[in-house]
Structure 1
Amino acid sequence: METKAIRKENVSLALIQPSAFNPRKTFDEAALKELSDSIASQGVLQQIGLRPIADTDRYEIIFGERRYRASVMAGLETIPADIYDVTDDEAVEIAVTENLQREDVSPIEEANAYQSLMDSGRYDVQSLAVQFGKSEAYIRTRLKFTSLIPEIAQLLEADAITMSVASEICRYGTDIQKEVYEKHLCENSYGYGSWRGLKASEVARRIEQNFTTDLERYSFDKGMCASCPHNTKNLLLFCEGTCGKCTNRKCLEDMNTSYLVDKAVDMIALYPAYPLRQGRFGTNEAAVERLSAMGHEIETPSTYIQPYPAMPQEPTAEEYETAEDFAEAHSEYEQDLSEYNDAVEEVNARAENGEIIVYIVIEKNDISIGYAVKPSDASEDGTADNKADDPIVKLEKQDMRNKEIAVEKTVADTKKQILEADMTETKFGQDEERMVYYFMLSSLRKEHFSAVGLTEKQAGCLSDDEKMEIVSNLNAKTKAVIRRDYLIANFKEAFGSNTVAKLLLGFAKKHMPEQLAEIEKGYNEVYEKRHQRIEERKAALVPKNEEPSAGANDTSEDESNEEAA
């Protein structure tokens, strides 16, 4: 894009303001001071680019903000400028293009500049390569840096890592980049082993080994993964067999969760009598949460889950070199199939007799069928409790649990968002005061339970209902008791001469002055005796032919007076 200035003129610095679309976000103060000194002696050698701000006499910087800042530092009043009449999009394009001509442009600034031009819709990789005289591979490499998290981008800006290392890291998703930074690249990551200074190939190998996930462990359809750029099998450095390893764990988890939910829904339709249950030694929490939100009741594991008998795989003739080998394999299959059918009949019979319960089990990476021994439903008088098998009772329990889930989710989300609420201008209310006393009650000493209306039987521990009853009927005296017990509980952090110790002594001086005085007296007497012994030992160490230092000046002065006489 070529845009000519409509005029050239010297513009007052007071009428100029920076723009928000400048690709350059950081300015080196030392370099800026050096430029300012040069401008003070030689003036501004190259015009900056400005555009008029509508309905004002002011101008906005298109390019040359560094020269503008240095001119202000140098005390100039005006600066030579090219004035352009351009739209916002055109101004962004001019600014980006001008900044890309700088010799000191950083890799991140260059990457963001190319991306900005791509986002304008007027450029693609090929046209950028022509515009700036670069290869397409060069442009693509720079564009990858826009996917770096800010912390790693800053390391690249500061030359703490090389562009080759950054190129390897930007292959991976945000979650892996964060872990790599926190464990191996930040300044306090040395406990895990710093990766700074390693070659790019070694960094790539370590990330692949420690932070990617083997797709073979997942059961969902991995057809899309075959051509995915986050599959290590498609990276030039990794050419392993199997399905490859995934470098985008969020995408992997989302696909796995969707697969599990869909499979669970299909199995619920196929086996409507089987309840849902979490896996005994691991479950997919995201799938459980999504299924719960859909209204499905999911039991938590309380007894050992045994897998439902697995049907054997029938062999095919193509798998064997000779007919004899295939016949032998098929004979083994028929035996396995017979044993499978017997096992299925046994499980089904036990389920019909009420001995076991068959479940649809939500595991980490799959949905399976399993069964567990049915817990005893015997009542206190020894008779069986048939109410537990009543379908209406089950539905009522499910409805109650769904209500509990709604409350649990409400509380969880509120805990997260309450930290962002602005309460600085809201008056502290009586209800909030009761909340404070509710929490302080945990420090109430047993000997003061009677002061707040509790009996000796309640002195073991306070229930939540008892705490709420107390805070609803507080008076000035009980409030003072609770607050002071809270203070006393926190005085356990008093040591030596720290601030808590000083607060402790101030509290004791107010409430138990005689006891405090007695304590201080006892330890001060011990100190005085030890102090006296130390003074005696110090005196014994002074040579006998030397006078005490305190009178040395007086003696020398008397002797000099005698000599003068």
Structure 2
Amino acid sequence: MDGIYIEPLQRYFEKYYTTDLGQYKFDKTECNTCVHNAANYNLFAEHNGCGHCTNRKCLEAKNAAHVAKETEKLLKSDPKLVVARPYYGSRNDMALQKLDKKGHEIKELDYNVSAREFPKAPEAPKKEQFTQTKEYEQAVQTFERRNEEYARKVEELDRMKEEGRIKTYVKVGQTEPELCYVEINRKETAPVTIGTLQERDKRFKQLSIEKTVADTKKIVRENDYPESSFTQYEDGMVYFAMLAQLQRRHFPLFGIKDQPFALDEKQRMKIVAKLTDTQKTVIKRDFISHFLCENGHGDNNASKLLRDFANMHFPDQYGLVKATHEEEYQKRHERLEERIKEMKKAEKKAAREAEKQQTTEKTEKKTTAPKTEKPESGKAA
């Protein structure tokens, strides 16, 4: 009974709740005495190899650290090597993240790019593994044939690499890094030089800044501001933003003449560094003017504020504009009032005529209606 139930339960436990440590390449000295190693507490008293790990998080961390370390060894062996992240196939994403954080270049391969693994050297047979001499000799012959094929493939790939027909990468596998190569169009191939590496460095710096800015936007948008006083530096930020709406006719006030386009960021930063009260006033009023002009429509609040703003600073011009349009409105209003008055008169007249017509019709009906004769009294019916 024990054998019937224990063995299936053991296989189920090891398959779904443990991981075979023998599949991993990292140093497992610590695992030999670890409490999470099933070999150290296996209730079924049987285990294979190094045992099975029940702490998957620890296992993945150790494995990723090992794979990343081995990958760095390969990269140091050839400065031109680059880590590749293939579109297809398994990869160790945790190890890739470690390499990315350390600043290693990671090439994203498109879905239509096939990354092929370099051939691996065949393993020579060991005589002690065979019981018969003939079997061992056959294994040696097979090994020699495969080793020759391996040497030919390596030689061919080296030649293709020198000719620029393939590009070599390091693929970060699940348990170890592997060299792989991609066939490329010779016309599109450019040799790796110090200049190209420096250009890559510039691009990586740019990407670093772009990613930092993107994450910073999330921080600013998603968090509440801590309670604190508004600083002078923040005040400068406000003016930097408002300067984007500075009118060109005010450029000379800031030492800028004959510039047909808006201020660029360098000019705005330079202006913000040294602002006078007069300049601050102009900047704020230009910003208010731009905002109210853009958002003032009909009789909304922005429109009312715009009119008040104009009346404060340009009372004569605003007064003339207002009077002109109000006078125009008044004339139209009076004409419409006259038309309304005439229409009301016509409606009343029509109503009286209709009423008169109804009265006449009623009178005519009474006049033309036939009279009924009453029978004489005393006569027989």
Instruction: State TM-score, norm by structure 2.
Output: 0.52
Equivalent residues of 2:130, 2:136 under 8 A apart: yes
* Aligned mates of 1:472, 1:276 — CA distance in 2: 53
Q: Does 2:123 align with 1:313?
A: yes
Equivalent residues of 2:71, 2:170 under 8 A apart: yes
1:328 corresponds, among 117, 138, 142, to: 138
Amino acid in the other structure paired with 1:393:
T
Counterpart for residue 3 of structure 2: none
1:371 corresponds, among 156, 174, 181, to: 181
Q: Does the residue aligned with 2:168 lie in a helix, a strand or coil?
A: strand
2:43 corresponds, among 232, 237, 252, to: 237
Cα RMSD over matched residues? 3.9
Q: Does 2:156 align with 1:346?
A: yes
Amino acid in the other structure paired with 2:109:
P
Amino acid in the other structure paired with 2:130:
Y
Structure-2 change in CA distance of 1:236 and 1:401 (3 Å) = same
| Cα drift, residue 367 of structure 1 | 0.4
Q: Does 2:21 align with 1:215?
A: yes
Amino acid in the other structure paired with 2:31:
C
Equivalent residues of 2:167, 2:181 under 8 A apart: yes
| Cα drift, residue 413 of structure 1 | 7.3
Structure with more helix by fraction = 2
Counterpart for residue 293 of structure 1: 101
Equivalent residues of 2:118, 2:179 under 8 A apart: yes
Equivalent residues of 1:356, 1:371 under 8 A apart: yes
* Aligned mates of 2:56, 2:289 — CA distance in 1: 54
Amino acid in the other structure paired with 1:405:
S
Equivalent residues of 1:297, 1:398 under 8 A apart: no
1:281 corresponds, among 89, 98, 111, to: 89
Counterpart for residue 197 of structure 2: 394
| Cα drift, residue 423 of structure 1 | 4.3
Q: Does the residue aligned with 2:104 lie in a helix, a strand or coil?
A: coil
Equivalent residues of 1:297, 1:402 under 8 A apart: no
Amino acid in the other structure paired with 1:224:
E
Counterpart for residue 226 of structure 1: 32
Instruction: Tell me which of the two structures has the higher relative contact order, counting C-alpha pairs closer than 8 angstroms and 6 or more residues apart.
Output: 2
Q: What is the correspondence of 1:155-554 to structure 2 with a 5 Å cutoff?
A: 209-237=15-43, 239-279=46-86, 280-302=88-110, 303-375=113-185, 377-378=187-188, 386=190, 389-405=192-208, 407-408=210-211, 411-412=214-215, 415=218, 422-423=225-226, 475-476=291-292, 478-479=294-295
* Aligned mates of 1:474, 1:314 — CA distance in 2: 81
Equivalent residues of 2:80, 2:192 under 8 A apart: no
Equivalent residues of 2:165, 2:186 under 8 A apart: no
Counterpart for residue 324 of structure 2: none
More displaced 10-residue stretch of structure 1: 314-323 or 389-398? 389-398
* Aligned mates of 1:283, 1:398 — CA distance in 2: 25
Structure-2 change in CA distance of 1:419 and 1:263 (3 Å) = same
Structure-2 change in CA distance of 1:350 and 1:376 (3 Å) = closer
Equivalent residues of 1:295, 1:402 under 8 A apart: no
* Aligned mates of 1:344, 1:211 — CA distance in 2: 41
| Cα drift, residue 265 of structure 1 | 1.8
More displaced 10-residue stretch of structure 1: 327-336 or 236-245? 236-245
* Aligned mates of 1:400, 1:253 — CA distance in 2: 32
Structure-2 change in CA distance of 1:314 and 1:411 (3 Å) = same
Amino acid in the other structure paired with 2:172:
I
| Cα drift, residue 357 of structure 1 | 0.7
Structure-2 change in CA distance of 1:473 and 1:210 (3 Å) = farther
| Cα drift, residue 310 of structure 1 | 0.7
| Cα drift, residue 258 of structure 1 | 1.6
Q: Does the residue aligned with 1:313 lie in a helix, a strand or coil?
A: coil
Equivalent residues of 1:212, 1:245 under 8 A apart: yes
* Aligned mates of 1:216, 1:288 — CA distance in 2: 23
Amino acid in the other structure paired with 1:408:
K
Q: What is the correspondence of 1:41-80 to structure 2 with a 5 Å cutoff?
A: none
User: Deviations for 1:485-514, whole angstroms, at most 9, x for unmatched residues?
Assistant: xxxxxxxxxxxxxxxxxxxxxxxxxxxxxx
User: Deviations for 1:170-214, whole angstroms, at most 9, x for unmatched residues?
Assistant: xxxxxxxxxxxxxxxxxxxxxxxxxxxxxxxx9999776545433
Task: Determine which structure has more spread, i.e. the larger CA radius of gyration.
Answer: 2
* Aligned mates of 1:297, 1:472 — CA distance in 2: 48
Q: Does the residue aligned with 2:181 lie in a helix, a strand or coil?
A: strand
| Cα drift, residue 215 of structure 1 | 2.6
Instruction: State TM-score, norm by structure 1.
Output: 0.36
Identity %: 23
Structure-2 change in CA distance of 1:418 and 1:320 (3 Å) = farther
Q: What is the correspondence of 1:3-14 to structure 2 with a 5 Å cutoff?
A: none
Q: Does the residue aligned with 2:89 lie in a helix, a strand or coil?
A: coil
Q: Does the residue aligned with 1:394 lie in a helix, a strand or coil?
A: helix
Equivalent residues of 1:278, 1:363 under 8 A apart: no
Equivalent residues of 1:275, 1:359 under 8 A apart: yes
Equivalent residues of 1:283, 1:364 under 8 A apart: yes
